[in-house]
A and B are shown apart, each in its own frame.
Chain A
Amino acid sequence: MTVRYNSIGYLIAEGFKSVFKQKKMTGASIIIMCATMFMFGVFYLLGENVNYVMKQVENQQGMRVIINDDATETQIDDLKVKIQQIDNVSTVTFYSKEDALASMKSILGDHQDLMAGYDEDNPFPASYFVTLTDLTQNSKVQEKILDLDGVDEISTDNDTIANLSKVAQSIQTVTLVLLSLLIVISIFIIVYTIKLTVYARRREISIMKYVGATNSFIRGPFIVEGIIIGIISAFVTIGIVALSYNAVLDRVLESSVIKSLTISLYGFSELILRVLIVYIILGTVIGVLGSMISMRKYLKV
């Protein structure tokens, strides 16, 4: 016998032994852990992408603060400083009445005749174009700007932003719920699996205790077993998630909606490391917790 009981090698060997002895149960728990990890992964990735899209929209879409026509030049300069002082405001760009007219002219193209006489009496107001650093703060910023002197009104593509931020919030909620479910279900299944191993080896454990093995020594192989299940599940799931993500991504990027917008999504390679780390941490923590719980009863004596 060449096994070294006091080494890491012993722990890992014993852990793998249990994993293979309880093939069916281990398989079942890996499948269940993968399923829950997958669900969590889907929503996590969805959430990351929605946030990403929101950031892009944020940059592209700001709000247009229409300035009162009778505002003096000092009032206008003052307003800029005040807007810049508001939290979450990123950039403030001035558009004069002339800029507004010019931009309208360029939109009308061949139909310049519609604007005959506008050069003398420009009906378009001057405005500030304001972009935000955090899109979810949109309505708060709007309120504050409306309180300022010299502001006539705010025109914005509010609906897109509001909708996106609603979607982002519900995805975040679903992700959190799934995460809790994942943890609870996985701990349950690991506890159950390891209890079977513990039961199968109760004689060995009882002898270990009689000859004076410490609890941490006895626990070692079972914790390793839990971690093995957790980590195998993490890697299997990341594989499945990678395949599904790339398949879905291809379809989405092909679709005309996305093509018409100037918006991109995360490639999986940009997210894989983050997801894998989350999975491995989850798998390990769940494995350790699960085995601790399942050993509790047996280590009392």
Chain B
Amino acid sequence: MIEFRNVSKKYNSSDNAAIHNATFKINKGEFAFLVGSSGSGKSTMIKLILKEEEPTSGKIIINGKDTTFLKPSKVPYLRRSMGVVFQDFRLLPDKTVYENVAFAMYVVKATPKHVRRQVPMVLSLVGLSDKAKVYPNELSGGEQQRVALARAIVNNPSMLIADEPTGNLDPNTAWDIMGLLNDINLRGTTVVVATHAKDIVDRMNKRVIRIDKGNIIRDEKGGYDGEI
């Protein structure tokens, strides 16, 4: 569950607020798009959720906990409740597909036994069982994003946060990835996707939070521009 209460964010280096008085609530198990043109504040919203940036004012509540005054030492534990995916995949080039996914488990101190069980399972979920020993540079963009997805969900987070996950992919591949995100959502994970891919948003017909110059101008189920 993600809740914003009158959240504003102004970066130190700029005069205008990147997010202005945003209030919304994404419930457990929901699928929501954050849409808007370039510079509208989508990534800022994602960074606020991840506590990579602090709000200038307002409250952000994650899974019922107010994160405003969360101690820095507690932030890692907050992040374990969310998986993250980015436009540029962010895989480690010197690790195989398997190792990239296992890495996310090891750094939160999972036992080797748990890793051996969990990694093959998520790899099969994203359809990459046969690529486990391959290095990222031998994969297509879509496959690399699948690895990133596998890594994001391998620790069973309650939320999956994606910032332009299809930005570098052709329309068909993008649609495949969206299908995967939908599958993950159907398994009970809350999914938040920031994107400006109008056709995909229209086709998915999910909740859409539309941002324009930092203001939420629409929040309803439907397409990019309104009900379908």
A10 partner residues in chain B, CB cutoff 8 A: 106
B102 partner residues in chain A, CB cutoff 8 A: 1
Interchain CB contact (< 8 A) of A212 among B73, B80, B92: B80
B62 to chain A, nearest CB (A): 13
Interchain CA distance A301-B75 in the complex, whole Å: 9
Given contacts A203-B92, A301-B52, contact A211 B99 (CB under 8 A): no
Given contacts A212-B80, A215-B76, contact A5 B90 (CB under 8 A): no
What 0/1 readout, one digit per residue, does chain B (51-78) give for beta carbons within 8 Å of chain A?
0100000000000000000001100111
B52 partner residues in chain A, CB cutoff 8 A: 301
Structural contact, B106 and A209, CB atoms closer than 8 A: no
Q: Which residue from chain B places its CB closest to the CB of A299 in the assembled complex?
A: B72
A2 to chain B, nearest CB (A): 8
Given contacts A1-B102, A211-B80, A212-B77, contact A6 B90 (CB under 8 A): no
Given contacts A213-B108, A217-B109, contact A206 B90 (CB under 8 A): yes
Interchain CA distance A213-B155 in the complex, whole Å: 12
Q: Is A297 an interface residue (CB 8 A)?
A: no
Interchain CA distance A2-B106 in the complex, whole Å: 11
A215 partner residues in chain B, CB cutoff 8 A: 72-73, 76
What 0/1 readout, one digit per residue, does chain B (80-120) give for beta carbons within 8 Å of chain A?
10011000001010000011001110111111100000000
Q: Is A255 an interface residue (CB 8 A)?
A: no
Structural contact, A211 and B92, CB atoms closer than 8 A: no
Given contacts A1-B98, A4-B112, contact A210 B106 (CB under 8 A): no
B124 to chain A, nearest CB (A): 18
Given contacts A1-B98, A1-B99, A211-B107, contact A204 B92 (CB under 8 A): yes
Structural contact, B109 and A212, CB atoms closer than 8 A: no
Interchain CA distance A215-B155 in the complex, whole Å: 18
Q: Is A28 an interface residue (CB 8 A)?
A: no
Structural contact, A203 and B107, CB atoms closer than 8 A: no
Interchain CA distance A218-B106 in the complex, whole Å: 12
Q: Which residue from chain B places its CB closest to the CB of A201 in the assembled complex?
A: B92
Q: Is B151 an interface residue (CB 8 A)?
A: yes
Structural contact, B98 and A217, CB atoms closer than 8 A: no
Structural contact, A207 and B106, CB atoms closer than 8 A: no
Q: How many residues of A contact B (CB 8 A)?
A: 22
A88 to chain B, nearest CB (A): 53
Interchain CA distance A3-B111 in the complex, whole Å: 11
Interchain CA distance A3-B52 in the complex, whole Å: 30
Q: Is A260 an interface residue (CB 8 A)?
A: no
Given contacts A1-B99, A1-B102, contact A210 B79 (CB under 8 A): yes
Interchain CA distance A208-B151 in the complex, whole Å: 11
B103 partner residues in chain A, CB cutoff 8 A: 5, 207
Q: Is A85 an interface residue (CB 8 A)?
A: no
A202 to chain B, nearest CB (A): 11
Q: Is B50 an interface residue (CB 8 A)?
A: yes
Q: Is A214 an interface residue (CB 8 A)?
A: yes
A5 partner residues in chain B, CB cutoff 8 A: 103, 106-107, 109
Given contacts A1-B99, A215-B76, contact A207 B109 (CB under 8 A): no
Structural contact, A208 and B98, CB atoms closer than 8 A: no
Interchain CA distance A47-B76 in the complex, whole Å: 50
Structural contact, B104 and A211, CB atoms closer than 8 A: yes
Structural contact, B106 and A6, CB atoms closer than 8 A: yes
Interchain CA distance A212-B105 in the complex, whole Å: 10
- Within A193-207, the residues touching B (CB, 8 Å) are 203-204, 206-207
B155 partner residues in chain A, CB cutoff 8 A: 211-212
Interchain CA distance A213-B151 in the complex, whole Å: 14
Query: Which residues from chain B sit less than 8 Å from chain A, CB to CB?
Result: 50, 52, 72-73, 76-80, 83-84, 90, 92, 98-99, 102-104, 106-112, 151, 155
- Known interface pairs A1-B102, A6-B106, A212-B79; 17 further A-B residue pairs with C-beta atoms within 8 A, sorted by A's residue number: A2-B112, A4-B106, A5-B107, A10-B106, A207-B90, A207-B103, A208-B107, A210-B50, A211-B83, A211-B107, A211-B155, A212-B76, A212-B107, A214-B73, A215-B72, A215-B76, A217-B109
Q: Which 3 A-B pairs have the closest CB atoms?
A: A5-B106, A212-B80, A212-B79
